[in-house]
Structure formats: structure tokens, C-alpha cells
Amino acid sequence: MKRFSLLPLFGVAVLLAACGRESGGGAANPASKGVFLWVQALKGHPVHQMTQIAFLEGCRQVGYEGRVIGTDGPDIAGTIALAEQAITMGRIAGVAIWTGNPAYNPLVEKIGRRNIPVVLPHFPVPEGSVPGASGIISCDPAEYARNASQKIGTALGGKGTVALTQGSFNQTENLVMETFTRSMKESFPNIKVLPPEEEGFDPSKSIAKAVAILQAHPDVNAAFSSTGGGPTTWAGARKETKRQLLVVGMDYTRVNLDLVKNGEVFAVVGQPLWEESLGSAELLAKCAAGEKIPWWTKLPAPWIDKDNLTPFLQLLDRVEASLNR
């Protein structure tokens, strides 16, 4: 199974402005082979913006026009309505949908009935469970959840209490928390794991939630978040409560890597956001050409701490430099 390489993909983030970042509509590029849509709610979230840039770059590389469709807030119904409208506009050759919720399944099936290939990035689901989908591309959440439990358990010396938060209760994050809890209990029985709580996506509200957890549980000495805003959430709560806290979250955004560098966050899990998003365009191009793709294109999710931070900071430097040209 093909693995997309992180290093070169960051290096080719050039000429992104030529792709545009449309929210739907706009004049089509007659030189392109067609249009690939990226469907994603909460499209202004920093992590989501990274995925959109990567997808649009992937579209440029394979000769298709890329468009981003979605709402500014976490409005699934509104995003689905926008996508349903977009697929009737013509020249749509493929669609990538950032799902995480079965509410998108009828949309996938509807697109599939129009013989338009659909790729689902980031959220792995069993083959056959989403009619109309051509394939998925992501890391294995259960695998990185087990790895996180081992890293955190070892760092705590096998003692303590871990608080859990997730962006929302969805299939992937639920799986992460279930796997993390089970793995921790099996390997470190003297570590208590609290039930996961919903963190949300508003930074101030998320920090307040984490502060409340710490106040209610004075024995908590570690926190694990399964969403990209988690490092900011728990670093903020750590600062407000002046508690010694080992924090692990998700994603190699600039703010998250800076928190690791400053010692406010112990580590982040490097979900392959860039790779799976750019790779979605490549997979759609293969489908559009009549090629059959594997159901799951599986990617690695590296553990990023102070020991291996530098390469990821350098990659972000290169991406940001190309965007500012």
C-alpha cells in the first residue's frame, strides 16, 4: 500500500495562490481536467485550513481545479446542503469529504449514484460501511492511541490520573479514547483514566472546561486530548491553575509545536493532515482515470516531542515561506 512522504509534500507547497480557496462557485478553469471538491465544516479552523491548502495543492499537481465547500461553524447540515448544491453545477470529477459523522453517509451515497468518486480522508471506517465511497486515507487512530498510552504511562512512572478530552463525540475520537483507556489499564493498572469529556472548538470555552476538570479532580497529573486544539486547551488550563501537568494533544500546527518547544506541552501526535489531504486529490485523480484504489491508504502518525521537533518546525517554515511569496 502506498505511503505518501511527508518531507517532499511540504517542500512542494508552492504556487498555492494559483489554486484559489473558493467556498463554492466561481469561474471554472477551462485548462483543468475538471473540479475536485473538498467538503468540510468549520472550514476556518487552523487545522482545517492546513488540510484545505494541502488538498488544493494536490489538485494543482494532478491537473484539476480545487474548490473548498463548507460552513464557517460546525454546521454539518449546512455543509451537506452546500455540497448537494455544488455537485449539480457540472464538471465535478471527484469529491473528498471530511466526515467523522454518519450524517454525511446519505450525501456520499447520493454523490456515488452520480458516478462521481468520493474519498474520505482522516476518519477511517470499515469497507462497505459507507455506500458510494471509493476509499479512505488516514492514519490508524487505534494505533496512535495505544502508542500515546504507552508514552504517557511511562512518563508518569506508572502512577497518576489522566484526564481525557475530545473535540466532539465522533466515531474516530471515540475510538481513540476507548483504545487509549483500554491500553492504559492493561499496561499501567495503577494509573486512573477519567471518562472523556467534550472539549469543543472555542478556545476560551475549552480552557474553561479543562480548568473545571482540574478543579474537580485534584489528583489529575496528565491530560490527553484527541483534537488539534487540545494542546492550547490544556496548556491554558495548566497556566490558569498553576498545576504541574503532562499534556499530550494532536497535530503539528505552529502553535502546537511552539507549546512543545516551550515545555508547556509534552508531545503531540502528528496526524498526517498534509499527506492525507494532498493524497485525497491524488486518489481522486486515479479514480477519475478509471483506476481502482485500495479501500484504506494507511499513513503513519509520528510522536512529536522535543527530541524530534526540529524537522517539523523546518517543514512549517518552508510552507509559510512559500505562502508569503
pLDDT classification of 217: cutoffs 50, 70, 90: very high
User: How does pLDDT run across 107-162, given as a tens digit for each residue?
Assistant: 999 999 999 999 999 999 999 999 999 999 999 999 999 999 999 999 999 999 99
Residue 100 clears pLDDT 80, i.e. is over it: yes
Q: If you compute the radius of gyration of the chain from its CA atoms, what whole number of angstroms results?
A: 20
Instruction: Look at domain 141-269 and name its CATH class.
Output: alpha beta
Same fold, 6-139+272-301 and 141-269: yes
Cell of 263: 515545555
Residue 300's Cβ-count burial label (10 Å; 0-12, 13-18, 19+) is middle
* Topology, domain 6-139+272-301: Rossmann fold (3.40.50)
Res 150: pLDDT: 98
User: How does pLDDT run across 29-41, given as a tens digit for each residue?
Assistant: 556 799 999 999 9
User: pTM of the entire structure?
Assistant: 0.79
Res 270: pLDDT: 95
Q: Residue 154: what residue type? A: T
| DSSP type of residue 188 | -
Res 172: pLDDT: 87
Residue with cell 485534584: 218
Domain borders along the chain are: 6-139+272-301, 141-269
Res 46: pLDDT: 79
Residue 263 clears pLDDT 60, i.e. is over it: yes
